[in-house]
Amino acid sequence: MSSELTLRYGMNPHQTPARLFVAEGELPLTVLNGSPGFINLLDALNSWQLVRELKQATALPAAASFKHVSPAGAAVAVPLDETLRRAYFVGDRDLSPLATAYARARGADRISSFGDWIALSDTVDVATAELIRPEVSDGVIAPDYEPDALAILQAKKGGGYRVLQIDPDYEPPQLEQRQLFGLTLAQQRNTAVPTTADLTNIVTQNKDLPAEAILDMIVALLSLKYTQSNSVCYATQGQLIGVGAGQQSRIHCTRLAGSKADLWRLRQHPRVLELPFREKIGRPERDNAIDQFLLDGLTQAEEALWQQQFSQTPQRLSPAEKRAWLDDWQGVTLGSDAFFPFRDSIDRAQQSGVSYVVQPGGSIRDEGVIEACDQYGMVMVLTATRLFHH
């Protein structure tokens, strides 16, 4: 280890010089392969904190798929059923708990995960490396790697795949600093790690909060902690299924995350699972074809290009068929990094199977939001802890 890592450039190619360094001691990072860039390191250090805290809070292996300093997906190791195995393209292969967590994280929003940065809470095994191998990804960070798993990853991208090892015992100083426009901001680190103890203030008439929903709330809250604000996410089965990040309006966060959650659900429709792809189609092309299959209003040129991905033209789902599939869905958790100022987010969330809501509360309109949850029979928990991240 050393105290400094020289980077090719900063946020953009014209921003030179650039480096990663510590004022005292040694870096907790070791580059095992490739050459990470400035943005890679922003994703790596944010995503590592997320999976470390997910493992700490749930005692389950955790994984995250990061793009532009927010998670496209994050998950803990909840076993996959046959439908999700098909939707996530893992087939009948033997998955370790860590590989299961990564399959869920990558499967949340495969379009957004294209070219992701991966974070893994545990030693990377061969099963996980084999899942990563065919995916388009920029790099990975983990506390350790099995020798055979490391060899698989070092062979990606013609030997240029970025592989970072981080000291799992490293703890940063309590005071963090950031320079902006030549000025230095300082604050205490956000050390809040949500646990079941933070989920006791149930304010709705329905107070039935099962263990599965508690797990989803913890996954949602920790993911929001490392998502660019404003942020809202939908979670189920121990994973994110839709993230709305960096929006100025909370309802726009909710709509964006809800549309992604709907696509996650629609990808499991039997007609999607049986799409007649042509032979040897690449994974990115397959992901894009599924996304376009579920979209309405393609142009004639887009439609012609889309049809080239199939051995025969598939029958599209009608709007009514999509709505019927989505209506037969419940048990989803909606999480928010700050309070809902209006009930509109609850009304939108109800269309995407939301049965549970977790948020800080504290709005002068909390009563109206609670009333909306009661109308839909939802359970809502107020945590009193805001989780902004900028």
CB 379 within 8 A of CB 202: yes
User: Which among 33, 40, 46, 230 is annotated as catalytic?
Assistant: 230
- State phi, psi for 121 to the nearest 5 degrees: -80, -20
Q: Which residues contact 297 (CB under 8 A, 6 or more apart)?
A: none
The answer to whether 68 is a known catalytic residue is yes
Question: Could you tell me the CA-to-CA distances from 17 to 12, 34, 174, 180, 356 in Å, in that order?
Answer: 11, 19, 28, 17, 48
**Tokens 């062979």 correspond to what residue?**
155
CA distance 119 to 46: 9
Which of 43, 50, 144, 132 is closest to 90 using CA atoms? 132
The answer to whether 252 is a known catalytic residue is no
User: Which among 33, 40, 46, 67 is annotated as catalytic?
Assistant: 67
CA distance 320 to 327: 10
The arrangement of strands across the sheet holding 239-245 comes to: 29-33, 162-166, 137-142, 116-120, 62-67, 70-76, 239-245, 231-236, 332-336, 354-359, 379-382
The answer to whether 67 is a known catalytic residue is yes
Q: Which residues contact 263 (CB under 8 A, 6 or more apart)?
A: 109, 242, 291, 294
CA distance 327 to 325: 6
CA distance 160 to 71: 23
CB-count burial class (<10 Å; 0-12, 13-18, 19+) for 182: exposed
Residues pairing with 74 in the sheet: 64
**Tokens 């946020």 correspond to what residue?**
11
User: Dihedral of CA 376/377/379/384: which sign?
Assistant: positive
The answer to whether 390 is a known catalytic residue is yes
**Active-site positions?**
67-68, 230, 390
